[in-house]
Amino acid sequence: MRRSGKGWRRRVRRWLLWSVLAVVAGPGLLVLLLRWVDPPTSAFMVRAHWQSDGGGIHQVWVDLDRIAPSLSQAVIAAEDQTFAEHHGFVWSAIGDALESNLEGGSIRGGSSISQQVAKNLFLTPARTYLRKVVEAYLTVWIELLWPKARIMEVYLNIAQFDDRTFGAEAAAVRLFGTSAATLTPAQSALLAGVLPDPDGLDAARPGPYLRERQAWILRQMRQLGTVAY
């Protein structure tokens, strides 16, 4: 009986060890696989599909070399100007977000492009500290295992540009009647401009606020010049 009890405890410890290893290493293995395998969907796309009342979503994967460089430049200018240099986190932006949160504002992130990939691909838009912790953990794996070009490629293919449109190619076709490869800087700036609020802003029919944001992004693009990553 005593040996049986020891064997049971050993099996429980082994199960707990494998469970911890799966939780810790599992996400890394999935992220490593997605370095070469294009993700067929994302958590945000699944959510939008279920909210569309059967209308579905629009997304077509294209490789980075089939997306106009101006779109990469525009999203870097609008969302993450130190994308090429940081290792997943923009600490100054995170500090500003924490200060706002402590002052009683809504929980917001100060997210880098890498963090947005982690969130859009695997998580939900829920504004909770737990989600931010999981997002940070996934971001570390993404930065360790993917080159910057792959991070940008995935980002431009899963970013949401209106309530049912995801990715550069579908956005270019549906909103401008062109392809992602032939987007102009002005069109790219409009697409980058809607990223913080794709449900509320319309790149095809920009209002005064979006036009002002477009002009600011174009100025930032000219100042940054060509971004190598």
Q: How much is the mean pLDDT over the chain?
A: 88
pLDDT band at 225 (very low <50, low <70, confident <90, very high): confident
The pLDDT value recorded for residue 1 is 46
Among 60-74, 86-100, 157-171, the least confident range: 86-100
The token pair at 69 is: 């460089």
Q: What is the 3-state secondary structure (H, E, C) of 124-184?
A: CCCCCHHHHHHHHHHHHHHHHHCCHHHHHHHHHHHCECCCCEECHHHHHHHHHCCCHHHCC
User: In this predicted structure, what is the pLDDT of residue 107?
Assistant: 45
Domain ranges in the chain are 34-224
| % of the chain with per-residue pLDDT over 70 | 83
**pLDDT tens digit sequence for 85-100:** 999 888 665 555 555 4
pLDDT at residue 103 in the model: 53
Question: Is 188 in contact with 107 (CB distance < 8 Å)?
Answer: no
| pLDDT, tens only, 126-160 | 888 889 999 999 999 999 999 999 999 999 999 99
For 176, the token pair is: 């401008």
CATH of 34-224, one of 3.20.20.70, 1.20.1180.10, 1.20.1270.360, 1.10.3810.10: 1.10.3810.10
Q: Is the pLDDT at 27 greater than 80, yes or no?
A: yes
Q: What's the pTM? A: 0.86
